[in-house]
Chain A
Amino acid sequence: MKKWISLVAIASISTAALAGCSGGSSGNDQTSPSSSASASPSASKPSGKPVELTFWGDWSGEGQKQFETMVDAFNKSQDHIKVKYVLQQDMITKFLTAATSGGSPDILFWDRWRTSLYAPKNVLHPLDEFLAKDSISKDDFYGEAVKELTYKDQLYGLPLTVDARALFYNKKLLADAGVTAPPSNWQELEDAAVKTTKWNGSKLQVAGFSLGDAGLFNMYLQQAGGTMLTDDGKTNFNNDKGKAVLDYWDRLLNQDKVYKIGFEQGLGESTDAFATGKLAMTYNGPWMLTTYKKYGKDLDFGVVPPPAGPNGDKGSVMGGFGLVIPEGSKHQQEAWEFIKWWTANKDNALLWAKTSLNIPGFKPAIEDPFFQDDPFWKPFLETLEIAKIRPTHPGYSVLEGDALIPNVQLFQQGKQSAEDTLKKAQQQGDKLLQDNAVAE
């Protein structure tokens, strides 16, 4: 009898463990709710009461204020649409529930790489008709960002911000080590890193160059002249190009010893290794400019586009956000008005840029002196010209996180050879890509 009690107890505890994994599944499995009798022209426009739109994003604090600045400006600019920003900390999970059971927002702040995963599920509304009607040209936006928002020749959003990593360097550390100009290719980067590195016994005092993020493999591979995936969606790094990247990293890390694994792990903003002069050079994005500028005279730094690889190839990875309209929105026409106002208008895109210190996806806005005459923005604009988005395969992030990076980390710590690393990453990666290919 007692045995039974404890058995039942265990069973119920382990089922309770499961319960956590299946929440939020109300049975609405039809593709999109009938409410998407969409894009009905808003006939009732001047009826006095403005259409209320909900705009979801997951930026809080400063970011929330920046969004609200834009929303307020839009609400003042006309009187038939009223947008409200709603902060959703766990936005994607909430959106999944909202997309199936009603309560969908009208505009969504969108991490662009998710498009290839969500667009096939019919939860985003294509924008091509809106673009055509308002004769807005895709060519006014960064092409790579538009590509990332496209699935099967349909466009699902407009780019709000673009970013890419460039090389930050500490001017003082480089000058002290006798490096006169910031590096422009791999060899110069290595030389500068060797010169700026300082060891005190077994303690690393100043690291010449950051090798903390194995996830930058994609960027280096572009510089070596390679691509992550083939056109038919298979891994494409188990070759000379991939080997070149690993050999370069191995040289920097294990022979030149310009870095130590774990050196930057856990250093928050206040103790950031680059800001505190413990790191001479690092790849980072425009989002760090504000932080580093706060240090004023204590941190004399510059930015240059990423150094070119052995054959002169350049590369960086473009990321950033867009705005999309969910299929479940009841006011898609009005939502489009808002997106168009924000992303496809030079003045507003510039207002957004100055408010949030992001590079807007709308190219005419970056012609402004605010960007062109600034020594910190300029190198990022140059980098964006050559930057490529991550492959739009829906399994790409899994390939990177579960197959490539772990194997590269083992390689960096001398646990497996470069050949094995590339081979294993290829085998495991191809399988993950296949398993995570989109199911329509």
Chain B
Amino acid sequence: MASISKLNRHQARTAYVFITPTILLFLIFTVIPVVMAFYFSFTNYDVVKNRDWVNFDNYKRLFHDDLYWTTFKNVAYYTVIFVPLNILLSLGIAMLLNFRRFGVRLFRTMNYMPTLTSAVAAATVWVWLLHPEYGLVNTLLGYIGVTGPAWLAQTETAMLSIILVTLWQSIGSNMIIYIAGLQGVPDYLYESAKLDGANALQRFRYITWPQLRPTTFLVSTMSIIGALQLFDQAFVLTQGGPGNVTKTPVYLIYQQGFNQLQMGYASAQAFVLALAILIFSLINMRVNKSEESVV
């Protein structure tokens, strides 16, 4: 017994040594800044001069900041459409490409390519593709007699265009995760289901989908977080316009903090955003009933 506990102690020590660098970095670059940001959110911190305690002033101002809530509405709309579509499409493509057949790898690579391009560069190209008169999208629509809208300049289509472009870019990596998940589903489950006479739909409903629950949880959580922090694509594609319909909280946080030197207020905005992300993630967890099947 004594030797076992000695071994355990030794292992524990080694483990701590191994995780120390990561924990230290995490402390320095994540925990401490977060604590400081929390403190700043109660001050009028402006980076260069002031840092006086102002109690809840920033949060009170936030409460009456219509624009901030507009941006929340914008990303909420974005998230509600983007996340389900993202899961649906990545899973669909993953299932299509989950075979060992000649040429499949080529298609996987092609689907993955958009993920490799830089967000800003891809968005710039999309601005071109979506141009009302000379863009490829409207030219193609023109062949079937449809006059396409000014995708990025009209209030009705601006956010949809951003959803389209970000989907195009994020499906690739989620597809890879789903393919990995699909390959982890044991074959004998399908075999026995077939023996019992289950059709393809039933096999998906009762085997594939439940088995993929941890994967779906991962994909949906990451997309929710990414969606609520939408910034670069929206900024390049529409600069927040037209009529504020594509402005996002992160855009405002940056503007208040770095352009207007109101870092205290920006910190308060960032905290409310983090809270929103937490709430959305918890809802997501409930929806996925992930407690039982994660890990």
A265→B135 CA distance, assembly (Å): 11
Kindly list chain A residues whose C-beta atoms are within 8 Å of the C-beta of B66. Answer: 428
Q: How far is the CB of B237 from chain A (nearest CB, A)?
A: 9
Check if B278 sits within 8 Å of A11, measured CB to CB. Answer: yes
Given A19-B34, A21-B267: A435 touches B255 (CB 8 Å cut-off): no
Check if B34 sits within 8 Å of A25, measured CB to CB. Answer: no
A46 within 8 A of B: no
Beta-carbon nearest neighbor of B130 in chain A: A266
Could you name 9 residue pairs across A and B whose Cβ atoms are closer than 8 Å?
Answer: A3-B291, A15-B34, A17-B225, A17-B229, A121-B48, A262-B154, A267-B131, A407-B243, A436-B260
Check if A13 sits within 8 Å of B225, measured CB to CB. Answer: yes
A43 within 8 A of B: no
Q: How far is the CB of A353 from chain B (nearest CB, A)?
A: 30
Which of B39-47, B82-90, B112-120, B197-205 lines the interface with chain A? B39-47
Q: Interface residues of A: mostly helix, strand, loop or mixed?
A: helix
Check if B261 sits within 8 Å of A117, measured CB to CB. Answer: yes
Kindly list chain B residues whose C-beta atoms are within 8 Å of the C-beta of A435. Answer: 61, 65
Kindly list chain B residues whose C-beta atoms are within 8 Å of the C-beta of A384. Answer: none
B253 within 8 A of A: yes
Check if B229 sits within 8 Å of A22, measured CB to CB. Answer: no
Beta-carbon nearest neighbor of A15 in chain B: B34
Check if A202 sits within 8 Å of B260, measured CB to CB. Answer: no
8 Å CB contacts to A: which residues of B245-295? 247, 253, 255, 257-263, 266-267, 270-271, 273-274, 277-278, 281-282, 285, 290-291, 294-295
Q: How far is the CB of B12 from chain A (nearest CB, A)?
A: 19
Check if A402 sits within 8 Å of B67, measured CB to CB. Answer: yes
Which of B3-11, B25-33, B91-99, B170-178 lines the interface with chain A? B25-33
Check if B270 sits within 8 Å of A18, measured CB to CB. Answer: yes
Check if A406 sits within 8 Å of B241, measured CB to CB. Answer: yes
A19→B266 CA distance, assembly (Å): 12
Check if B271 sits within 8 Å of A18, measured CB to CB. Answer: yes
Beta-carbon nearest neighbor of B40 in chain A: A22
Check if A92 sits within 8 Å of B34, measured CB to CB. Answer: no
Q: How far is the CB of A47 from chain B (nearest CB, A)?
A: 34
Beta-carbon nearest neighbor of B149 in chain A: A262
Check if A92 sits within 8 Å of B258, measured CB to CB. Answer: yes
What mask results when residues 271 to 285 of chain A are scored 1 for a CB within 8 Å of chain B, else 0?
Answer: 100000000000000
Check if B152 sits within 8 Å of A29, measured CB to CB. Answer: no
Given A17-B225, A18-B270, A260-B150: A265 touches B261 (CB 8 Å cut-off): no
Given A31-B49, A413-B243: A261 touches B261 (CB 8 Å cut-off): no
A127 within 8 A of B: no
Check if A262 sits within 8 Å of B258, measured CB to CB. Answer: no
A20→B172 CA distance, assembly (Å): 26
Q: In the complex, how many residue pairs between chain A and chain B have their CB atoms under 8 Å apart? A: 178
B105 within 8 A of A: no
Instruction: State which size class the interface on B falls in.
Output: 35 or more
Check if B258 sits within 8 Å of A22, measured CB to CB. Answer: no
Given A22-B37, A121-B46, A261-B150: A409 touches B242 (CB 8 Å cut-off): yes
Kindly list chain B residues whose C-beta atoms are within 8 Å of the C-beta of A265. Answer: 127, 131-132, 150, 152-153
A201→B240 CA distance, assembly (Å): 31
Check if B48 sits within 8 Å of A99, measured CB to CB. Answer: yes
Given A260-B132, A262-B154, A266-B127: A96 touches B241 (CB 8 Å cut-off): no
8 Å CB contacts to A: which residues of B147-201? 147, 150-155
A93→B254 CA distance, assembly (Å): 11
Check if B30 sits within 8 Å of A10, measured CB to CB. Answer: no
Beta-carbon nearest neighbor of B238 in chain A: A265
A309→B270 CA distance, assembly (Å): 45
Kindly list chain A residues whose C-beta atoms are within 8 Å of the C-beta of B30. Answer: 12, 15-16, 19
A428→B48 CA distance, assembly (Å): 28
Check if A19 sits within 8 Å of B29, measured CB to CB. Answer: yes
Check if B255 sits within 8 Å of A10, measured CB to CB. Answer: no
Kindly list chain B residues whose C-beta atoms are within 8 Å of the C-beta of A118. Answer: 48, 261
Kindly list chain A residues whose C-beta atoms are within 8 Å of the C-beta of B271. Answer: 18
A123 within 8 A of B: yes
Kindly list chain B residues whose C-beta atoms are within 8 Å of the C-beta of A93. Answer: 258
A204→B253 CA distance, assembly (Å): 38
Beta-carbon nearest neighbor of A93 in chain B: B258
Check if A22 sits within 8 Å of B127, measured CB to CB. Answer: no
A14 within 8 A of B: yes
Which of A56-64, A368-376, A391-399 lines the interface with chain B? A391-399
Kindly list chain B residues whose C-beta atoms are within 8 Å of the C-beta of A92. Answer: 258
A394→B285 CA distance, assembly (Å): 44
A439 within 8 A of B: yes
8 Å CB contacts to B: which residues of A375-402? 394-395, 397-398, 401-402
A14→B45 CA distance, assembly (Å): 23
Q: How far is the CB of B168 from chain A (nearest CB, A)?
A: 17
Check if A22 sits within 8 Å of B47, measured CB to CB. Answer: no
Q: Which of B243, B266, B277, B290 has the most CB of A within 10 A?
A: B243
Check if B242 sits within 8 Å of A14, measured CB to CB. Answer: no
Check if B33 sits within 8 Å of A19, measured CB to CB. Answer: yes
For B154, give its contact among A19, A21, A96, A261 (CB under 8 Å): A261
Beta-carbon nearest neighbor of A261 in chain B: B153
A415 within 8 A of B: yes
8 Å CB contacts to A: which residues of B124-157? 124, 127-128, 130-135, 142, 147, 150-155
Check if A397 sits within 8 Å of B33, measured CB to CB. Answer: no
B211 within 8 A of A: no
Given A11-B278, A428-B67: A262 touches B290 (CB 8 Å cut-off): no
Kindly list chain B residues whose C-beta atoms are within 8 Å of the C-beta of A100. Answer: 47-48
Check if B152 sits within 8 Å of A262, measured CB to CB. Answer: yes
Check if B274 sits within 8 Å of A439, measured CB to CB. Answer: no
A297→B273 CA distance, assembly (Å): 54
Given A6-B285, A261-B154, A262-B131: A394 touches B260 (CB 8 Å cut-off): yes
Kindly list chain B residues whose C-beta atoms are within 8 Å of the C-beta of A130. Answer: none
> Given known contacts A19-B34, A29-B49, A260-B132, what 13 new A-B pairs fall within 8 Å (CB)?
A13-B225, A14-B281, A22-B263, A25-B47, A31-B48, A121-B261, A265-B152, A266-B128, A394-B260, A401-B240, A402-B67, A402-B244, A406-B242
B221 within 8 A of A: yes
Kindly list chain B residues whose C-beta atoms are within 8 Å of the C-beta of A409. Answer: 155, 241-243
A361→B209 CA distance, assembly (Å): 68
A187 within 8 A of B: no
A410 within 8 A of B: yes
B109 within 8 A of A: no
